[in-house]
Structure formats: structure tokens, C-alpha cells
Amino acid sequence: MALTLLIGDKNYSSWSLRPWITMRATGIAFEEVLIPLGADDFKERVSKVSPTGKVPALIDGEQHIWESIAIIEHLAEKFPEAGLWPSDAHARTHARAIAAEMHAGFNALRSHCPMNMRRPARKRELPTEVQANVTRIDTLWTECRARHGHDGPFLFGRFCAADAMYAPVVSRFVTYGIEVGAAARAYMAAITALPAYVEWEAAGITEPWVLPEVEVDWPTVLRA
């Protein structure tokens, strides 16, 4: 039975991007169902699959899986040939640790710099707590590339679940003109050139829906 992934707006929904790019970049077939975040019946429709009423949510036969990181782990078990985690045990442990750090942290960055694919790149002043998040991510990416990135341009060489978890962060850094070091910039270039990322971004830019609460320039809506 085919997998079905429920997602929100491609322009705004950073959590939806994570399992979507995981599957698209590694060739796992699925059907996409997009429910606009601002739709009047959003909660009603999503709650049929996800008990939290939030996206993303994956339908795999009679199983319903919610939370991005849980979906990715389910896919890693179901499709071991996709190599969603590094094959080396030490690298795999490191990848899971930074993925969990992303899932649980960086709240200041998320709040101050919401994902917005449609907004043209323009710098935004970063409060101290946001800059601290940026510094940690810059260090994290640089260390991963130095320790594990010898076989490709991603955090652990070839694309894996850890990259999927940080893809929306790459988008935020681009959108808000956030400065990082050379290794992190090279990593960002690899993510933004990934065909799956390009596909998502192109779709997000053309979406008509606007959510004022995540448009940091409101009432102006900047469009790339």
C-alpha cells in the first residue's frame, strides 16, 4: 500500500519539509496531501490522521505516524536500503543526536525567523538569544562536515535524515541573510542545490496563502 504524507503550506511549514525532503531525496514513493495551514477545516481534516491535529502526518496502511522525527525513524526501519542514517555506528549516533537537538531546540531562531520560502533574502536584526542559536548551528554544521563529511557535501557525506532535519534552518538562514562560516555556507549551498529542495522551494514561492502571524514584515508581504 502506498504511503500518504499530510503536509501544510510549502512556504511556511518547516516541519512538513523534513519528512517530505527525506522521502523525495532518497526515492521513497509517497502520495502528498497538502492542507493549507489557514484552512477553516484544517484541524478537522488533520485530526483524522494525527491526534495532535498538526502536520506532518504519515499514513502507512493502518498505521498513522505523526511528528517529523518519528516519521523519519519509521521510514528508516521500513526502507533500510534508503540509508536514512549513516552506516557507521559512531556517525549514526552523532546524526541522531543532532537531529534530536534540532527537534527539541533552537526555539528563539524558530520564533524570530519563521520559515518563509517566498520572502526575498533580507537581513533581520538578531537578538542575543537568536544569535546564540545561530552560533551553535554554525559550529554543529562545521564539526559534522570536518568529522564525517569526506564522502559528499552533506553533514555526513551523503544526504541523510540529519540533513532533512536542518533543511528548514538552511532556508531560514537564506531568507534572513544570516551569516555563518565558510564550511556552513558550503553546506547550505549543497542543500539549496538538492533537486528535492529546489522542487519544494519552487512550489512554496507560488502558493497564494498568507499567514500574517509568520510574516515578519507584516502588513507588507514581501515576495521573491
Q: Is the pLDDT of residue 44 over 70?
A: yes
pLDDT recorded at residue 34: 98
This prediction's pTM: 0.96
Confidence of residue 21 (pLDDT cuts 50, 70, 90): very high
The pLDDT of residue 18: 98
The reply to whether domains 3-82 and 89-206 share a CATH topology is no
Lowest mean pLDDT among 167-181, 183-197, 210-224: 210-224
pLDDT reading at 66 higher than 70 = yes
Q: What does the domain layout of the chain look like in residue ranges? A: 3-82, 89-206
Q: According to the model, what pLDDT value does residue 1 have?
A: 58
What CATH number labels 89-206? 1.20.1050.10
pLDDT at 23 > cutoff 80 = yes
pLDDT of residue 2: 87
User: Does residue 73 register a pLDDT over 70?
Assistant: yes
pLDDT at 94: 97
Task: Give me the pLDDT at residue 42, please.
Answer: 97
pLDDT computed for residue 96 by the predictor: 97
What is the per-residue pLDDT across 177-190, written as a single tens digit (0 to 9) for each? 999 999 999 999 99
CATH architecture of the domain with residue range 3-82: 3-Layer(aba) Sandwich (3.40)
In percent, how much of the chain has pLDDT > 90? 98
Q: Is the pLDDT of residue 130 over 80?
A: yes
Q: What confidence tens digit (pLDDT) does each residue in 140-153 have?
A: 999 999 999 999 99
Average pLDDT over residues 191-209: 97
Query: Is pLDDT of 30 > 90?
Result: yes
DSSP characters over the chain: --EEEEE--TTT-HHHHHHHHHHHHHT--EEEEE--TT-TTHHHHHTTT-TTS-S-EEEETTEEEESHHHHHHHHHHH-GGG--S-SSHHHHHHHHHHHHHHHH--HHHHHHS---TTSPP------HHHHHHHHHHHHHHHHHHHHH-TTSSBTTBS--HHHHHHHHHHHHHHHTT----HHHHHHHHHHHHSHHHHHHHHHHHH-----GGG-TTTTS----
pLDDT at 224: 76
Please give the mean pLDDT across all residues of the chain.
Answer: 97
pLDDT single digits (tens) 76-114: 999 999 999 999 999 999 999 999 999 999 999 999 999
Q: Would you say residue 115 has pLDDT above 80? A: yes
